[in-house]
Structure 1
Amino acid sequence: MMLTAITTAKRRIDYRQVPTPPPAAGRALIRVQHVALCGTDAHIWDDDYPADLPVIQGHEFVGLIEQIEPGLVDARDGVPLVPGLPVAVSPMVYCNTCPPCLAGRFNICESISCLGCYEDGALAEILSAPVSKLHPLPLGLPRYLGALGEPGSIAMQAVNRGRPQAGETALVLGCGPIGLLATLFLTERGVRVIASDLSESRMALAEECGAVATFAPGTGGQLGDLWGAATGPTLIIEATGVPASFETAVSVAAPTARLVQVGISGRQALLSLRDLPFKELDILGSRNSLNLIPEALEVLARHQDVAARLVTHRFPFDSLSAAFETMLDSGQSVGKIVIDLPATAVTGLAAAHQETPLGQESSNVS
C-alpha cells in the first residue's frame, strides 16, 4: 500500500492508502520525492479547470527509480536506468497517431493528456511511468530543483519557437516562473533580455536570470530608451496570458519581429489589423514541449543558484492545502512551491545528487 493525496472536491484533499502500482513491462516504478506546483494545479484544486475530480494531482516532479526491468538504457543520453537513480519524469501522454503527432508536433496531440491533470499524477509515494518518459538528473543537481525540469521545458519550447539570435534584443512580458526561465534560457544564448512585470521582486529575479533592464507595465513612454538604436524588440515572449500584455507586444514589436504567446487565457485581445501586415510580424503559439526536459535540466544544473531562487516556498506532503492557499494569496510573493514527499533518504546513486536540507536551499524560502 502507498499514501496518496487525492483532490476530491473544490479545495478538498483527502489522504488515502491505496494499492501500490504493480511492475509492468516497459514501465518503471518511481518513488516520488519532490513535486512542484504551478497555476494549473491551483485551478484544479479550486475546481476551476476542465479536469474531472477526484484526481491525484502533480505533474512537475522528480523521484528515484524504485523498480525497473534490468538492462534498460535511456535512449536519449545512454545513462543506464537502474534502481536508486534520480529522474525527472515527463507527464505528457500523446497518441502518436493523430496528424500533429505524425508531423512531429506531439506537444499538441489531438488527444493529449497529462499526469496530475487529466489522470492520476505524482502526489503519491509511488508512480508508474513509461521508461521513455524518464530523464536522469545531471550530476550534482539537487533533486528538488529537478522538479523544475518540466516547467523549464515549457519555457524552452517558447524560446525555441522564437528562433532567438545571439545579440538581438528580446522582451519577456511576465516574470512568473515561465518568464523567468525563458529569460535565463535566452540569456544563455547571447540574447539581450528586457523583462516586464507588476512585481518589483519578480523583476529583481529577472535581473538575476540575466535581464539587462526591467520595467513595469504602463511605463510606455520609457520603452524607446530601452531599445537603444533599435525600433523595438525583435523577439517577444508573452508569458502572462493578459490581453493587454499581448496588445502591448504587438504595439512595441520591431518590424519582422517574432512574438511567442505562451501565456494562456480564454479572454480576447483587441488588435489593429494594420500592425501585423505592416510590420510582417510572426505570431507564434507555444504549448507544452517537444521532450525538452533534459535540455532544461542541463541549464538548471549550470545555474543552480538562480534556479534555487525561483523556489520561494517548500511544504511537507501533509500540508498541501496550506501550499495551495499560499499560491492564491495575492499578498505573498510566490515563485515555485515545492512539495517534499516522505521519500527523502539519500542512498546509493542518489547520494551523487545530494539533497539540500529543507529550508536551507535559498534565503527566501518560507
Structure 2
Amino acid sequence: MLIARTVARETIRYEDIPEPALEPGHALVRVHNVTLCGTDLHIWEDDYPAGLPVIQGHEFAGTVEAIGTNDAGIRTGDRVAVSPMVYCGLCRPCRLGRFNVCENIGCIGCYSDGALVEILSVPVEKLCPVPDSLELDLAAMAEPASIAMQAVNRGRPSPGETALVLGSGPIGLLATLYLTDLGVSVVCADTEPDRLALASMFGAVDTLLVDPRSDFPGADQAVRLDAVTDSSGPELVIEATGVPSSLETAVRLVASAGRIVQVGISARTASVPMNAVPFKEIDLLGSRNSLNLIPAGLELLARHRDQAGALITHRFAFGDLQQAFELMRSRTEPVGKIVVDMPASQSARPAGTGALTGVRA
C-alpha cells in the first residue's frame, strides 16, 4: 500500500509498504478522508515535540476493511471515524477520569504513525460509527468537533447565558455551533471578515471585527456587547486563538463570577492583571483534547451538515500533500479545513466531479 511519511522538515516521502495484518483486538480501516489542522502544519515544519519521521493524519474517517468479533457490533464495511488519542490509564489524571491530559499521552498521527496511509490498524475501541446521514469527509472533522465540545463543556454553559467566542477558526466556529445548540447566545470576534460571516451561519447573534491596531472592543462594539449581556459582560468566554492579547481581552471582558476557557494553544506569554482574577472571582480553565467526545462530535456534525461543509475550503488528492501544507503555511488565501482525499475516496467519487484540488463546491 502507499503511505506518505514526513521524514524531515517540510519533506514528505511516498513509500510502498506491505498492508498491515489483522491483529486481535484491532480493526483494519481503509482511510477515505483526512483533514488537516494547525498541529499537522507544526509537525510538517518539524516544530512539534514528537519529532520526525512520522506518518501524519489524526483527523480521519473510512470504512472497516477487516475486524474480528467485537462487543461493539462493528462489522466489515461499516463507516467509522477514529479517536486518535492514546492514554495510559494509570497516571493520576487517568485515575481521576481526566485521561485527556494523561501524563503519557499519545496521538495517532502525531506521536505515532497515523492515517496518511491506505489502510491503518487501530484498536477496536477507537472506532466510532458514522451516522448514516453524514459523509465521510465531514466525519473526518469529528476530532476537532470533539475538542470544541470539550472546551464548551469545561465552561459549564447554561441556556440563556451569553458567551463570547474569541477566534472564528474551526474550533471557535464549532464551539459556537455547540453553544447555540445548548441555548446560549454567542457573540464571535475575529480579525477576518470572512470568518465572521461564517460565524453568523454557525449561530452567532452578533460578530465583532477585531482591528489588531486598535483597542477592542471599540465604542460601537462595546455598546453592542453590552446590549446582549445587560452591560454585565459575557458569563462565558472561549479563547480559541492562542494569541496572548486575546486572553487579556477575555479577562477584561468576562462578567464577574464568569468563566474563561483557554483552548487556543501557544507557547507565548500573556500579561494579565492579577487583581482581575480575584476581584471578579473568575474561573480560568484550560481545555485539551476531549473526554471521548468524538461520537458526540459526529452527531453534532450530522445535525449541521451545511455548517460542517462550510468549514472545508480546500481539497487535495493524496499525491498533492506538499501543496496542501504549502498553502497552509503561506496563507495566501483564506484557509479553513483542508480535506485530503485518499485513494479509496477517489475511487468512490462519481465520474465528472472535477478536480480534487480546490474549493469545496
When the two structures are superposed, what TM-score results if normalisation uses the length of structure 1? Answer: 0.93
Residue in structure 2 matched with residue 20 of structure 1 by the alignment: 19
Residues 7-156 of structure 1: matches in 2 within 5 Å?
7-70=6-69, 72-74=70-72, 80-156=73-149
Residue by residue, what CA displacement relative to the aligned partner does 1:332-361 show, whole Å, maximum 9, x if unpaired? Answer: 1000001000012788xxxxxx99986699
Q: Does the CA contact (< 8 Å) of 1:144 and 1:355 recur in 2?
A: no
Closer, same or farther: CA 301–197 of 1 in aligned 2, 3 Å: same
Q: 1:227 corresponds to which residue?
A: 226
Is the Cα–Cα contact under 8 Å of residues 143 and 355 in structure 1 kept in the other structure?
no
User: SS where residue 290 of structure 1 aligns?
Assistant: coil
- Report what 1:253 is aligned to: 254
Deviation at 1:315, TM superposition (A): 0.4
Query: Does residue 365 in structure 1 map to residue 360 in structure 2?
Result: yes
SS in 2 for 1:318: helix
- Whether 2:220 is the aligned partner of 1:201: answer no
1:342 matched to which residue of 2?
Answer: 343
Instruction: Write the letter of the residue equivalent to 2:243.
Output: V
Contact 2:315 2:359 in 1 (8 A): no
Report the alpha carbon displacement of residue 158 of structure 1 after superposing the two structures with TM. 0.1
How far apart in 2 are the matches of 1:356 and 1:244? Answer: 49
CA drift of 1:230 comes to 3.3
How many angstroms apart in 2 are the aligned matches of 1:357 and 1:41?
A: 31
Of stretches 234-243 and 215-224 in structure 1, the one that deviates more from structure 2 is 215-224
**Matches of 1:357 and 1:35, distance apart in 2:** 22
**Amino acid across the alignment from 2:207:** T
User: Could you report, residue by residue, the CA deviation over 1:60-85 in whole angstroms, capped at 9, with x for unpaired residues?
Assistant: 00010000003x232xxxxx201111
* Residue 280 of structure 2 corresponds to residue 279 of structure 1: yes
Shift of 1:110: 0.3
CA shift for structure 1 position 226: 1.7
Is the 1:314–1:359 contact (alpha carbons within 8 Å) kept by the matching residues of 2? no
Q: Is the 8 A contact 1:142 1:355 kept in 2?
A: no
Q: Distance in 1 between matches of 2:304 and 2:172?
A: 16
Match of 1:350 in 2: none
**1:96-146: per-residue Cα shift (whole Å, max 9, x none)?**
011100110000000000111111000000101011000000111011000
**TM-score of the superposed pair, with normalisation by structure 2:** 0.94
Aligned partners of 2:6 and 2:13 also within 8 Å:
yes
Closer, same or farther: CA 83–357 of 1 in aligned 2, 3 Å: farther
CA apart distance, 1:329: 2.0
Contact kept, 8 Å, 1:169 with 1:227, in 2: the verdict is no
CA–CA distance in 2 between the matches of 1:107 and 1:59?
A: 15
Aligned-residue sequence identity (percent) comes to 56
Between the aligned partners of 2:327 and 2:21, the Cα distance in structure 1 is: 35
Q: Distance in 2 between matches of 1:179 and 1:136?
A: 25
Report the Cα offset of residue 330 of structure 1: 2.2
- Give me the whole-angstrom Cα distance separating, in 2, the residues matched to 1:14 and 1:345: 20
Other-structure match for 1:351:
none
SS of residue paired to 2:326: helix
Residue of structure 2 in register with 1:324 after alignment: 325
Moved more, 264-273 or 337-346: 337-346
- The correspondence for 1:159, drawn from 124, 138, 152, is 152
Please identify, of 322-331 and 260-269, the stretch whose mean Cα deviation from structure 2 is larger.
322-331
Q: 1:309 to 1:303 in 2, by over 3 A?
A: same
- Amino acid in the other structure paired with 1:241: G
Structure 1 alignment gaps of length 5 or more: 75-79, 348-353
Paired amino acid for 1:275? A
Q: Which amino acid aligns with 1:9?
A: A
